[in-house]
Structure 1
């Protein structure tokens, strides 16, 4: 709601403030910066979304140095918390704050991040940890968890990207990741070591951006398919498959060939965060994180989810401030 009053009683500057629309409401979540590759966490009755910041000056290549974090008590109005961490939180990293994921485990917040390993000049996955969802984060192991040399299924240097980390009901952590080839591994419960071999998983036309979540006994493995990318998913009764391909839930974007998403449950409703490039001057390397509410079908399948400018209606969580 906007509040406007008689200009004769107030200065023009005061009127501008009072008539302004609420900050950070609707899509995209952040309107004065370009953002991409969202990760989501619900903690303490508040929703947090982490996103890489696109800083390309000319939209001709990725320039990404940091991850930002915003939070909400109602999935409509978002509070900025600034920088959660930068790529150089990992001293062994050369550049590239690419896609990430975050989980809470053992009272700490574990941030799994794609960066460029300096020694190999190839993408790698690092692990950072913090005592608060907004940081400060520190490198948990002082070296990559996953390096390009550990996976030899392709000859490209960017096939170890886009981690998604999921902790099953029995406490077992799993990480899926990859570009062109989808891989997964169990993690030890310390969250900083693999607990077994790296396994490859075949899914139709997998490109990148896997996300693993569970609801009502169904495991959902969603990802970006083809090029330009659109969002699809598969289901299973186990975190390791076998997977039944289910089809598309979100279309390709108009102004960028990529799409990246995460699912979350907040205050009894279901949401997906994703990126497009719908801000003014947006483009291939100037993207924008947005959110939509949706309802699972009666059989547990995910419906097609349209992208909107309005985003979801407010869903205030009791006690969240």
Structure 2
């Protein structure tokens, strides 16, 4: 009986008690939130900080998954992917995003490439695939989708990070990513091949962490900004997925006890939500971050109202 229960817990995840209070995940340190709505469930794909209190750099061994149906109680599926999944990869598990397309789930991740015949190393973007939102996931193509040698407009080796994928109404998929340089490229319908050249976009104050989506007839590019240290969240809008982008301003000020923040935006059960991370848990910090969520509101013209960061979090939904 005990073995049967254990197998069930591992297969279906365990529930985390929550009072809808920020941060929403409190038993481990999580970062870089990427929400996805599938059927009646909101799935949250996250990074995982494991650096010690004294360490001064990231230690991120894997990616995790959580889910909710009421924005209050979060189901913990544990680790579902790591750089070890990719034979070509080494190093940390940076920001990621999972999207649903034609019956499959594609998890785009940022990690680092081994030095081999295909790359001299540096940050790279891979893609894993599964038939279910919680996995198991496997390397979709057996190689990196983006390697450092493909992007030469910035000299540093960690510029190919933080992928976000947007699938437009006509089913054309776009990949956006980059540190200190925002880039985009069309993807083929299989989401595992490039369908055109890589384009660099000149975005005011851009540093990293793009998140692209469409609401009504307006396209949004939301990102972590380099205007100050620590980071803030700013955004642009456009009439199409490729621009031209019009700068709209700051929507989130600095977060507590972390010099980075990272947006994840989703509509769920009639409300809009803004996910981000901070360092507000006990012993937390810039390398021991925690994911939060707050309500998000729009003005009549489609511009985003400033995000109010709270410790209360969001109200439950039916």
Partner of 1:230: 232
Deviation of the 1:24 alpha carbon: 6.3
SS at match of 1:128: strand
Q: 1:32 aligns with which of 20, 24, 27?
A: 27
Query: Structure 2 matches for 1:88-237, cutoff 5 A?
Result: 88-119=84-115, 120-226=120-226, 227-237=229-239
| Larger gyration radius, structure 1 or structure 2 | 1
1:80 aligns with 2:80: no
Residues in 2 aligned to 1:84 and 1:302: alpha-carbon distance in whole angstroms: 33
Paired residues of 1:59 and 1:283 also in contact (CA < 8 A): no
Q: Aligned-pair distance for 1:31?
A: 0.2
> SS of the counterpart of 1:154?
coil
Map of 2:59 onto structure 1:
63
Structure 1 residue ranges (4+ consecutive) displaced by more than 4 angstroms after TM superposition = none
Task: Give the Å deviation of 1:25.
Answer: 3.4
Q: Which sections of structure 1, spanning at least 5 residues, go unmatched?
A: 1-20, 317-321
**Counterpart-to-counterpart distance in 2, 1:299 and 1:160:** 33
Using the alignment, how far apart are the partners of 2:73 and 2:299 within structure 1?
27
How far did 1:109 drift? 0.3
**Cα distance between partner residues in 1 of 2:108 and 2:248:** 27
Which of 158-167 and 86-95 deviates more?
A: 86-95
SS of match in other structure, 2:84: helix
TM-score by length of 1: 0.90
**Cα distance, 1:23 vs structure 2:** 3.5
Q: Mark the runs of 5 or more structure 2 residues left unpaired by the alignment.
A: 1-15
- Alignment counterpart, residue 300 of structure 1, candidates 282, 299, 302: 302
Report the counterpart of residue 49 of structure 2 in structure 1.
Answer: 54
Cα distance change on mapping 1:157 and 1:24 into 2, 3 Å? farther
Q: Secondary structure at the match of 1:50?
A: strand
Normalising by structure 2, we get a TM-score of: 0.91
Note the C-alpha offset of 1:91: 1.2
Name the SS of the counterpart of 1:133 in structure 2: coil
Contact 1:24 1:77 in 2 (8 A): yes
Q: How does 1:15-30 map to 2 (within 5 A)?
A: 22-23=17-18, 25-30=20-25
Residues 54 and 268 (structure 1), Cα distance of their counterparts in 2 relative to 1, 3 Å cut: same
**C-alpha offsets along residues 77-135 of structure 1, whole Å, 9 cap, x if unaligned?**
21111112111111110111100011100100000000110113310000000111111
Cα distance in structure 2, aligned partners of 1:313 and 1:272:
13
